[in-house]
Amino acid sequence: MIDVQNLTKRYGQATVVDGLTFTVRPGAVTGFLGPNGAGKSTTMRMMLGLTRPDTGTARIDGRAYVDLTYPLRHVGALLETSAPHRGLTARDHLCWLAQSNRIARGRVGQVLETVGLADAARRRIGTFSLGMGQRLGLAAALLGDPPVLVLDEPVNGLDTEGIRWLRDLLRSMADEGRTVLISSHLMTEMALVADHLIVISRGQLLADTGMSDFIGRHGRSYVRVRTPEPDRLARKLEGGGATVTRVAGGGLDVVGMPAADISRTAAAGGFPLDELSTHAGSLEETFLGVIGEEGRDSRV
Amino acid sequence: MRKAGTPVSETLAAVRAETTKLRGIRGTQLSLLLFAVVSILIAALDGWSAKNALESDNPSLRSDFTPEQAGLDGILYGQLALIVFGVLVVTSEYTSGMMRVSLLAVPRRGRLYAAKMSVTALAAVAVSVPVTVLGYLVTQAALGSHGSSLGASGVPRALAGAVVYLTLMCLFAAGIAAIARNAVVPLAVLLPMVLAGTHILSLIGATREMARYFPDQAGNELLTVHSPHTAFGFTVLLAWTVAAVGWGWVRQRRWDS
C-alpha cells in the first residue's frame, strides 16, 4: 500500500507536483498516467526518498521510504534516470544490491533467470542493449521479493516477447496481493495491464478510478454499423438525433443512439445490416479527452 | 539469513556492498594496481641510481641523502594513482545514474556516505601497508651495501606515517570528488598540486610559509624520517581531510535527484 498525502514539489517558480493525494492499493495493477511533464517521475522519486517534497508525505505501508529497514525487501523500484555502473557485471551489480539489504545470495541467480539474463550474468553492463538493461533493472526491482513495486516506464526498450512477459509478471504479482504501480506513456499497453488508474496533469490529480469506470465515465462509446446502403441509413439515423461518422469500407460509427434503436430504425427502413457492434472508447482517446478538457478548463 | 535490521547491521551491510562495488569496477581496481606498480618501480630505480651515484662519488646526489629517506620516495609518485583511486571511487556513482540505485538500496544518505568513505579508507590502508614496506625494502636491496634496514632508527615510525599520509590523501581526494561530483575538476586540481605545484611554492621565499599548510606538503612531514614537525603535519593534513570529507557530506545530503 502506497499512501500519498498532499504532496507538493516546486522547482523555482514551477510547481511540478501540486497537492497530490492518492492511495495505491494492494492486489491490483495501478497505472500512473499523465502527459509528459505532468509530474509522474517526480512523484515516484518522492515516494522513494530520492527527492524531498516541499510539503506532504509519501508512505509505503505506513513508513517513509528512508525509514524502511532494508528497503529493497519492501519496495522494488525501477526509475528511468537510474542506471547501474557500466563497468560492473550484471551479477556483481545484483550481488552488491543483495549485500546492501542482506538478501540471500541465491536470489541473484533466481532473478537473473526470471528476467532471462542468466547467460549474460558475467557480461559488463556497458555492453548491454537497451532491452537487456531494462531487464536488469527489473531483476534489481524483484531481488528483495518485495510486496510493493514502483516501476517507471517499465516496458521501455522491451521487445514484444518481453512486454508480454512483463504483463504476465505484473498480473501475477498483483494476484499474489502485492501493490503494483506502473507509469507508461503507451496507452494500449496500459489498457491491457492496469486495473486501476491514477491520472495526473500539471501535478494535479485528474482521476483516481477503476479502468472500466474511467472509460465508461469519460470515454466516448460508439456503435459500429455496416450496411450496403450507408448514405441512406446515415440520413435516417441523423434524423433520429444521432451523430454519424463514416469510416472506410462503408461502415458508420454512431454516437448518441443505442444499438437497439439503430436496429429498429434499420428494420423499419428495410436496411439489411452486415454488422452492429457496440465499442467502448479506447483508453488513449479517453485519456486525451480528459487531458484536453482539463487544458480548456484551466485556460478559462 | 534475514536478520532483523539494526542501524549497525544495516551499516555493515552497506560497507560490504561498497566493497563489492569497488572490486567490480575496473577503473578503481586499475588505479590501486598502478599505485603498487609505480611505487615499487620508482623505489627500485631510486635505490639503484643512488647506489651508482654513491659509488662514483657523483655530486648530483642530494646532500641530505639518507638510504632510509630514499626508501620512502617511491610512494610519493605512487600516491598520484591513489588520489585517482579516491576520486574514481566517489565519481563512479555520478557518471551513470548509479547514485540513484545506491540511494534506493541505502536511502540514508549518511549511512551510504560513511560506508563509501570507510571502504575507501580501508582499501587505501590495505594497499598502503604492503606497498610502503615493500617499496622501502626494494630501495634498500637496490642500494646493496649502502642499504639500511627496516628497524633503523626512525624508520618504523616514518613507514607508519607514510600509511597515515597516503590514507588521508586518498580520503582528501574522495572528499574533494564528493564536493565536485565529477572527476575532472578534482583531478585537474589535485594531480598538479601534488606533482609540482606546492613544491614550487615551497621553493619561493614569499610563499614558503604558506606552502607548509598545503595538505601534501604538511603531510610529507609524516613520512620524513626524524622529522621534528610530525604532529604539525598530521594536524594540518587531518584538518584538510576532515574539511573536504565534511563538505562532501553536506553536498551529498543536499543532493536532490
Task: Dump pLDDT digits (tens) for B24-43.
Answer: 998 899 999 999 999 999 99
Q: Is-contact A150 A78, C-beta < 8 A? A: yes
Quick check: is B1 in a domain? no
Digit-by-digit pLDDT tens for chain B (257 residues) are: 445 678 899 999 999 999 999 999 988 999 999 999 999 999 999 999 999 888 887 777 777 889 999 999 999 999 999 999 999 999 999 887 899 999 999 999 999 999 999 999 999 999 999 999 999 999 999 998 888 889 888 999 999 999 999 999 999 999 999 999 989 999 988 888 887 776 777 777 777 777 888 888 888 899 999 999 999 999 999 999 999 999 999 999 888 76
Q: Which residues of B touch A73 (CB under 8 A)?
A: 2
> Looking at residue B128, what is its pLDDT?
97
- What residue in A sits closest to B19 (Cα-Cα)? A96
State the CB neighbour count (10 A cutoff) for residue A285: 15
Rounded (5°) CA angle A151-A154-A158 = 165
Which residues make beta-bridge pairs with A60?
A: A2, A63
Residue A57 confidence (pLDDT) above 70: yes
Rounded CA-CA distance A88/A104 in Å is: 20
> Whole-model pTM above 0.80?
yes
**Residue A121: what residue type?**
A
Which residues 102-121 of A have a C-beta within 8 angstroms of B? 102-104
**CA–CA separation, B243 and B176 (whole Å):** 9
Cβ of B107 within 8 Å of Cβ of A79? The answer is no
What does the pLDDT read at residue B4?
A: 61
Q: Is pLDDT above 80 for A166?
A: yes
Q: Give the residue from B213, B215, B172 showing the smallest Cα distance to B84.
A: B172
* Dist. CA B46–CA B52, nearest whole Å: 10
Structure-block grid coordinates of residue A204: 494535479
**Cβ–Cβ gap A49/B103 under 8 Å:** yes
Cell of B150: 627496516
Which cell is A88 given?
560492473
Is A230 in contact with A246 (CB distance < 8 Å)? yes
What pLDDT does residue A182 have?
A: 96
Residue A300 has pLDDT above 70, yes or no: no
Q: What is the ipTM of this complex?
A: 0.89
C-alpha A120/C-alpha B242 separation (Å) is 42
Judge whether B2 lies within some domain. no
Q: Is the pLDDT of residue A286 over 60?
A: yes
pLDDT tens digits for range A264-285:
999 998 999 999 988 888 888 8
The C-alpha cell at B208 is 614558503
Bridge-partner residues for A278, per DSSP?
Answer: A223
Q: Establish if B31 belongs to a structural domain.
A: yes
Strands A196-201, A28-33: pairing is parallel
Q: Is the CB of A85 less than 8 angstroms away from the CB of B25?
A: yes
Q: What is the mean pLDDT of residues A114-140?
A: 94
Residues from chain A that touch B97, judged by Cβ atoms under 8 A, are 81-83
Helix (H, G, I), strand (E, B) or coil at A159: coil
Number of domains in chain B: 1
| Residue A211 amino acid letter | M
Cα Rg of chain A, angstroms:
24
Beta bridge partners of A4: A22, A58
CATH 3.40.50.300 describes domain A2-217: yes
CATH 3.40.50.300 domain range(s) in chain A: 2-217
Residues of chain B neighbouring A146 (CB-CB closer than 8 A): none
Q: What is the pLDDT of residue A299?
A: 38
Instruction: Give me the CATH topology for the region A222-279.
Output: Alpha-Beta Plaits (3.30.70)
Smallest Cβ–Cβ distance between A52 and the set B14, B92, B256 belongs to: B256
pLDDT reported for residue A296: 54
Query: How confident is the model at residue A96, as a pLDDT?
Result: 97
Residue B132 lies in a domain: yes
Within a domain: B49: yes
- Interface residues on B facing A, Cβ-Cβ cutoff 8 A: 1-5, 9-10, 13-14, 16-18, 20-21, 23-27, 92-93, 95-98, 100-101, 103-108, 256-257
Instruction: Mean pLDDT check: name the lowest of A88-97, A103-112, A282-291, B245-254.
Output: A282-291
Which part of chain A has CATH 3.30.70? Answer: 222-279
Q: How far apart are CA A88 and CA A34, in angstroms?
A: 34
In a domain, B222, yes or no: yes
Domain that holds residue B81: 7-254
Q: A148-152 and A75-78 as β-strands: parallel, antiparallel, unpaired?
A: parallel
| Contact partners, residue B222, CB within 8 Å, separation at least 6 | B158, B161, B162, B164, B165, B230, B233, B234, B237
